[in-house]
Structures are given as C-alpha cells and as structure tokens.
C-alpha cells in the first residue's frame, strides 16, 4: 500500500502528529459533522413544505458529502473517527491506546455538542434545546445495530482493500444508511448524545438515546470479530 | 493492470481466499444489498406523501451508494457478484467452475432472503410477506432484458479497461437503470426472488417474477457474446 | 500521461481497434444514452405527479450517471463521442479523418434513433412518435450555444490535464447543464434529432430542432479556437 | 506529491502559464460558475411549484457538479480560485504576489457579473436586475463566517494531504454548505456582488451584501491561521 493511499484512510496517521493536533482534528471534525447534520435537517424541514422525504434528501446529500470531505482532510491527522464506536473498534484491534481512545471520545463529545450549538446559532434557533422526538422500540434499536455494524464493515473492508477510497466509502455508506434503516442511522454515540440537544428534524429525545447507544456499542465487538476473520490475509 | 486495480474489481480475487469466506462475502453482501433495496423503498414510501418519484429518488440514491460500497469491500474477496446472472456470465466465460458457481448462487439466494427479513425487522413490518405488486407484460420483461444486458456490458467493459472503477461504474449504472427502465431494473434473479417476499414499495408479485427472471437470463449469453467480441484485445 | 489515464479518455484509443468495433461502440453507446435520456424522462413524468422539477431531478441523475459509465467503457474503443459536435471538434483538431468522422456521425444518428425506440418499447409507448414540445426562441438557441461550448471546454480541459477523470467530468457537466441552461442542454445534434421522435418529457418538436442544431454547431469552432489557445502547452 | 496530483489542485500551477491565460481562466471559470448558480436557481424556482427545498436540490446538484468540473479544468492554469476570499488566503500565505492577487480579484468580479448576464439571457430574463431578496441579521452573517471558514479548511486540508481530489472536495463541501448554513453558503465576495444583480432564487439584496462580504473576509485570517498550525508538517 502506498503512502498516499494510507494518508486518506481512517488508520492511525503515518506522520507523527502530536496528540494535541489529533484531538483538535477529532473535535473540529465532529463539530463540523454535527453542524451539517443538524443544520441541513433544519434547512430541509423549513423548506420542504411538510414532505419529510424531501427534507431527508437534503439532509442525506449534505451529510454524505460532508463526511467525504471531513475524512479526506482530517483522516491523515487523527484517523477521522468522529465516533466513539469507531474509536472503540480500533481499541479492540489494539491500534489505539486506552489513554488516546479516552481522549478521542472526550474530544468527539465536546465537538459534537459544539457543532449542534453552531447549527442553532446559524439558523437563529435557541442555542440550548432538548429534543422531544421519540425514537423508541426494538425496531429502532435493531436499526442502530445494523447501521453501526454496516459502518464498521465498510470501514474495515475499505481499509483492508482500498484505503485510498475510505472517505468516499464512508460517505456513500451513510448516504444509503439514512434511507435503509428505520432510525436514519445515527450509528455514533457522540452524535446521539449531541442530537438529543436539538429539538429539530435530526433530534432524538434523551429518553430514546440510551437504547440507541447500547445498540451501537453492541455492534462493535460483533463487527470487529467478523471483520477480523473475514478480511484476514490468507 | 496493477494489483490494486484488480483488487477492487469483480474479477476472481488475486489473494487465495478460501471458498467459505468467498461464500460468506457473497451471502453477506447480497443480504446488505437487499436490506438497502427494501429498506430504502419502505422509508421512501412512508415519507414521500404519495409522490412515487420522490420515493424512487431515495430508493435510487441508497441503492447506488450501497452498491459502490459493497463491491469495493467484497469484490476482492468473492468478486462481489451478488447476482446469479453475473455468476452465470463468469461461468460462460469459464472464469468460475460449475461447483463454485452453484455455491455462489445458493449463497446469493440465502443472503437475499435474509436481507429482506432484516429490512422488515428494522421497519417493524411482518417478517414474512408476499408481494401483491403486479409487474406484468412484455414491456416489463423487455425492460429486464435491457437492464441486465446493460449491467453486464458495464461490468465487462469496466473490467476490461478500468477495473479500479468497477464498483463506481456498477453503482452509477444501477442509479440510471432505476429510472430508465420501466421495471426499475431488478436485473438480478436472486433479487427478484427475494423482492417477491416483500409487500412494500420494492416488491414484485410471485406471479410476475418468472418472466423477469427469464428475461434476465436470456440477456446473459447475448451480453457475454457481444462483450467477448467487442472488448477482445486487438 | 500514463496509458491507463489515456484509456479512459475521449481521445483516439491507444489500442488499434478496427473501425467496425469503433462504430459499434459509438452506435451502441449513443443508443444506450438515448434510452436513458428518454426512458428516465418518461419515468419522471409518470411518477412526479405534475412537479416538473422532481421529474427533471430523476432525468438528471440518470443521464449524468449513465454518461460516466458509457464514456468509461466505450472511451477506450471509439473515444465515446456519442455526439456529432464532439466528432466535428476532433475533426477540426485533425485528430480524426473526414471518412472516420462521417462514419461516426452516421453511427451516432442510427444509434440515437434506435435508443429512442428501445425506450418507447420499455415503457409500452408507441414506437414511432413525433414530439409536439416547442422549444423556440433566441434564449433557447443561446442556451444551446452555451451548453455546447461548456461541454467542449470540459472535454478539452479534462483531456489536457486529467484525462483519467474525463468520464466523470462530462457526466458532472451534463448534470449541471440540465439545470443551468434554459433548454436543459441537448448540446448534441444526434440527440436533438432523436428526441424529436419522442412526444414525451425529453422531446423537442421537429420545427424547434434546426435552431438547436445550428447553435450547437456554431459553438464548435468557437470552443475549439478558445481551447486551442487556452490549453496550449507553455 | 506527483505532478499529476499537483495539476488538479488549487495551488499555483506547475507549468508556467502566462498571467493573461491565468486571468482568462479565472474570469471564464467564475463566469461559468455564476451562470450555473443563477441559472439553476431560476430553473429550480420555475419548475418546483413553490417547494423551495426541491428548487434548492436542483440548485445544489448543479453547483456542486459544476465546481468539480471547473476546478479540474482550470485549476492547473490559474489555481481555480474563482473567489477573492481564496485569493486573499493565498496572498496571506505568500503564495501569490499583491499584483497578481489584485488582477485575480478583478478578473473574478468581471467574470461573475458576466456570468449573471449570461444566465439571464439564457432564461429570457432582463439582463440588468437588482435583487430584492433580503438576507439580513447576525445569524446570516455568522452563517457566512462558518461557510467561508469551512471552505478554506477544506481547500487547505485537501491541498495538504490529497491535492488530486481537491476539485471533488470543494464540490462536495459546497453541496453540503448549501444545506447546512442558513445563508445557503455564498462564501465568496465576488459571487455575493454578482448575485446582488439578479432578482431570482439565488439573489441577495444589495443592502444585505456588505455584511455577507465582511463575514467572509473575517473568516480568511482565522482559517489561514488555524490551517497553518493544524496542517503544518511535523
């Protein structure tokens, strides 16, 4: 695998960037991701005249496009996890230390909440909100399990065979997952926490969040074990 | 052609993965494909307020995006056929043994049905369904012939000249084919069987399925013969 | 420039394919292009419930995606012109003989008409139709001048600097041009003739066609001259 | 970094094109960009039946696609700034002289206005217009700060790690930014001036323009400083 290919991947970066810059990349990238998720949701809801499918089209287009960009520009710095489930998976694969993983998750959570605030400020919404949008029931939780499982298989498969296209693969996967899962695919505990702080299109009621996060975390060891076997070099 | 280019293709993989892992890749990939096709169809139908074009836009976006991802990550393992018509074409080109082809088709069928069940579970639909959506008549069958012919020309042309972009070429082809064929392009016997088990947007009545499958299979030798001549090295 | 990069381009192919196969590639590629343009227009119109913007979104998505695929798989064979205006531009640059150019245009016209018939057959429409959709006036003709000029600048710019992405550049250009020109960008005399034979969403009344074709052809020497100067090697 | 990768970037070009051709590239590229922004806005508004989200989808698709094309074909000539904010950022990085930067901005402004006139002519609108669309208030200005900041981080991050995909990164960033910022992301002083001359979907009232431009220019040193630190080689 060439250096150029590695650079764009979600793998630990080749160049020895220090932990401070890596954490800034995780925090800033997650903040921009949430600004996109929440902001495009508000824009869609405001303009779509009540047709939720049209709102979701705009939300999907923006999120998928932004993920490709953010993973391309921050991947070589920090791995561009933006997601505690992804960080946990790399920890299970022993590609990240416990200390670094903990710091990553803290940066992701702080960035995610900041991104929600930025979106609210851009759309002249109250900065502090709590979502009232219930997303309950076993079908929603199963959706989050499938969404997170698919995300991790995408990441590990792309890193294994075509790490240069990892940013595109993740962006396209989420584009599909917004539509094929009943929960519109949060697939990310930091995103789930942050979206509970927005009473807009992309929000989730705090009471619905724990089941989402549990389903996401259960998917991590399952996907990690399957990928470890399926993608092992012959 | 470089090894990297080959790896992402639908060609028999370079690395000697065993048959078990190749069949798991075919089955899991086809399952995820069907979960996307059925799931995004349900999501589109539920949200689009009766406008079928908007529902089809979401269905198209999700399916095209997922195909790029699935062929990228499973192509180097199994070839990422996910489709008995494609497997038959490789058999006709003598690039696959009869035994492997039979096992591939079995894995595709099992995966396709499992994927439909997963989609139903995510959307809290009854797991077992039979479609009532008639798709009959010679124009529909002709559409399936054209859809499958175009898919195979896309695959063999991309493998011949730019195998590194085969996943993107197939994803974009199906994106177009959902719209330019009157049948919305099933182009896949395993997909056709599985979609008969879903009484949702993407379903097909069991009585309509045989003509679809026949038209798909008729396209295989036609496309294989044309491509054998057209893309032959000078 | 590497051989791989050249192969995907619109340039005369490196491998010495004979004229027969090149003409089949031009004819088949143009036929598939028209099947997509007309077919996705019918699909959009039938499903969009009277909202023309939604119909155009489907038409755009299908056409742009198909162009990327068709130029990728037929470019290395014939250059993938599919367009007498493009063939004329290569003739003006002396990269094609008069005899080959004439045969190319004949294959494009025959393929385009055949593609319209295939679309009609797939959608159970009468095969032979004449469009009643007027697209008249100087603003429409000016739109076709701009559309064709932009297409040729895209092609020659991409071939000059990044010939490996020419298929994507052309597909994205037409995606934009369907929306930013008032005529929805025919930009192709063979396409214009063929679309006069379809009384559907993408049709054009025969009386409106000559001004479109004239504007397209006027753009060719203008774009060729500008690109000859702008992209000349320093 | 290879020459091929550099060629497609926004960096000063490797080949010694003279200033005249570079300015023509900036002017023509900016003109085509504005023709796309304004033209697709008019098309969307005319066809969407009052649903602004559908109009914005068409506007977004066209603008994002066109940006990829224009940066691909003009980037190796002039850097494909098309944007005084980008030119200012390169000036701050001392990668452009004051004289060249001034000429770039003049070419961008002239091209942008010409592009608006071309769009009006294509759609049979009065050539000279003044927008009446107010886009006022601190939330709109903050949106422009975020939009421009994100654009510059995208450009400098892509140039740093994957300059071959810079055109795609910028096109995808603007695709997202049309939806996630409340102002639909002008992010460009020349575009802002030119859009004040169109009383259509994409217009902005002249009285609203100064705050947009100020917010865009404030983002330049902030983004330049952050990127200078974040992307510095270890």
Contact D203, D196 (CB under 8 A): yes
Q: Rounded to an integer, what distance in angstroms lies between the CA atom of residue B172 and that of residue B190?
A: 20
Go through the domains of chain A in sequence order and give each one's CATH number.
3-230 (1.20.1080.10)
Interface mutation target, options B65, B79, B115, B163, chain A, most CBs of A under 10 Å: B65
Average of per-residue pLDDT values in chain B: 94
Which residues of chain D are modeled with pLDDT < 50? Answer: 1-9
Residues on chain A touching D151 (C-beta within 8 angstroms): none
Contact C169/D36, CB-based, under 8 Å?
Answer: no
Answer whether B71 touches C (CB < 8 Å).
no
Q: What DSSP letter does each residue of A16-85 carry, written as one string?
A: ---HHHHHHHHHHHHHHHHHHHHHHHHHHHHHSTT-HHHHHHHHHHHHHHHHHHHHHHHHHHH----SHH
Are B182 and C124 in contact (CB < 8 Å)?
Answer: yes
Nearest Cβ partner of C182 from D17, D37, D123? D123
C7 reaches B (C-beta below 8 A) = yes
Residue A234 has a pLDDT of: 82
Is the pLDDT score of A2 beyond 80? no
What is the average pLDDT across C114-129? 98
Burial of residue B153 (number of CB atoms within 10 Å: 0-12, 13-18, 19+)? buried
Q: How far apart are CA A151 and CA A162, in angstroms?
A: 15
Find, among C66, A5, C154, A24, the residue nearest to D165 by Cα: A5
CB of D230 less than 8 A from some CB of A? yes
Measure the CA–CA gap between B173 and C76, rounded to whole angstroms: 18
pLDDT score for D11? 52
Structural tokens at position A224? 């990690």
Q: What is the pTM of this model?
A: 0.95
Tens-place pLDDT, residues C55-78: 999 999 999 999 999 999 999 999
Using the structure block, give the residue that is written with the tokens 């140039």. Answer: D159
Whether residue D146 and residue A57 make contact (CB cut-off 8 A), yes or no, is no
Q: CB–CB of D73 and C179 under 8 A?
A: no
Classify each residue of B88-105 as buried b or exposed e, where b means 16 or more C-beta atoms within 10 Å of its C-beta.
bbbbbeeebeeebbebbb
pLDDT at position B2? 35
For residue C51, the chain B residues in CB contact (below 8 A) are: 51, 53
Which whole-number Å values give the CA distances from A180 to A153, A227, B97, B129, in the listed order?
16, 22, 34, 18
D208 token code pair: 């609203």
Rounded Cα distance between B188 and B80, Å, is 13
Is D56 in Cβ contact with A61 (below 8 Å)?
A: no
Give buried/exposed letters for C162-188 (b at 16+ CB in 10 A, else e).
bbbbbbbbbbbbbbbbbbbbbbbbbbb
- Per-residue pLDDT band at A11 (split at 50, 70, 90): low
Whole-angstrom Cα distance, residue B118 to residue B114? 6
Other Cβ atoms closer than 10 A to C198: 28
Of C15, C39, C65, the CB nearest to B181: C39
Residues in A touching D178 (Cβ below 8 Å) = 62
A65 touches chain D (CB under 8 A): yes
Q: Say what the pLDDT of residue C64 is.
A: 98
Percent of chain A with pLDDT over 90: 92
Cα–Cα distance for residue pair B168/B62, rounded to 1 Å: 14
Residue-wise pLDDT for B11-34, tens only, equals: 554 568 999 999 999 999 999 999
* Closest Cβ opposite residue D172 in set A57, A69, A75: A69
Is A95 part of the contact surface with chain B (CB cutoff 8 Å)? no
Task: Report ipTM (2 d.p.).
Answer: 0.94
Whole-angstrom distance, CA of residue B42 vs CA of residue B59: 9
Number of Cβ atoms within 10 Å of the Cβ of C224: 19
Q: What is the predicted pLDDT for the residue at A200?
A: 97
Contact C178, C63 (CB under 8 A): yes
In percent, the amount of chain A with pLDDT more than 70 equals 94
Q: Are D54 and C60 in contact (CB under 8 A)?
A: no
Q: How many residues does chain A have?
A: 234
Interface test with A, best of B44, B47, B73 (most A CBs within 10 A): B73
For chain C positions 151-180, those within 8 Å of chain B (CB to CB) are 171
The pair of three-digit structure tokens given for residue A200, joined into one six-digit string: 């807009």
Per the CB < 8 Å rule, is A162 touching B122? no
Name the minimum distance, in Å, from the CA of D233 to any CA of chain A.
Answer: 8
pLDDT, position A134: 97
A76-100 mean pLDDT: 96
d(CA A80, CA A82): 6
CA neighbor of B211 nearest in space, from B142, B121, B152, B156: B142
Residues in contact with A46: Cβ distance below 8 Å, sequence separation at least 6, in sequence order = none
- Under 8 Å between Cβ of C157 and C224: no
């Amino acid at each position: 695998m060439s250096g150029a290919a590695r650079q764009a991947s979600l793998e630990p970066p080749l160049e020895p960037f220090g932990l401070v810059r890596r954490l800034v990349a995780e925090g800033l990238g997650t903040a921009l991701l949430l600004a996109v998720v929440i902001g495009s949701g508000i824009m869609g809801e405001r303009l779509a005249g009540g047709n939720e499918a049209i709102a979701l089209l705009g939300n999907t287009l923006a999120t998928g496009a932004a993920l490709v960009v953010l993973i391309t520009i921050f991947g070589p710095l920090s791995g561009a996890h933006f997601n505690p489930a992804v960080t946990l998976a790399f920890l299970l694969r022993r590609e990240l230390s416990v200390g670094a993983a903990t710091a990553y998750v803290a940066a992701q959570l702080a960035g995610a909440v900041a991104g929600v605030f930025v979106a609210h400020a851009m759309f002249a919404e109250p900065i502090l909100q709590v979502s009232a949008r219930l997303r309950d029931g076993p079908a929603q939780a199963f959706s989050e399990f499938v969404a997170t499982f698919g995300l991790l298989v995408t990441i590990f498969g792309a890193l294994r065979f075509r790490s240069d296209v990892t940013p595109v693969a993740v962006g396209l996967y989420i584009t599909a997952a917004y539509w094929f899962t009943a929960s519109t695919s949060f697939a990310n505990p930091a995103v789930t926490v942050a979206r509970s702080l927005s009473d807009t299109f992309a929000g989730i009621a705090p009471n619905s969040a724990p089941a989402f996060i549990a389903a996401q975390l259960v998917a991590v060891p399952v996907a990690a074990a399957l990928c470890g076997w399926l993608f092992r070099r012959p």
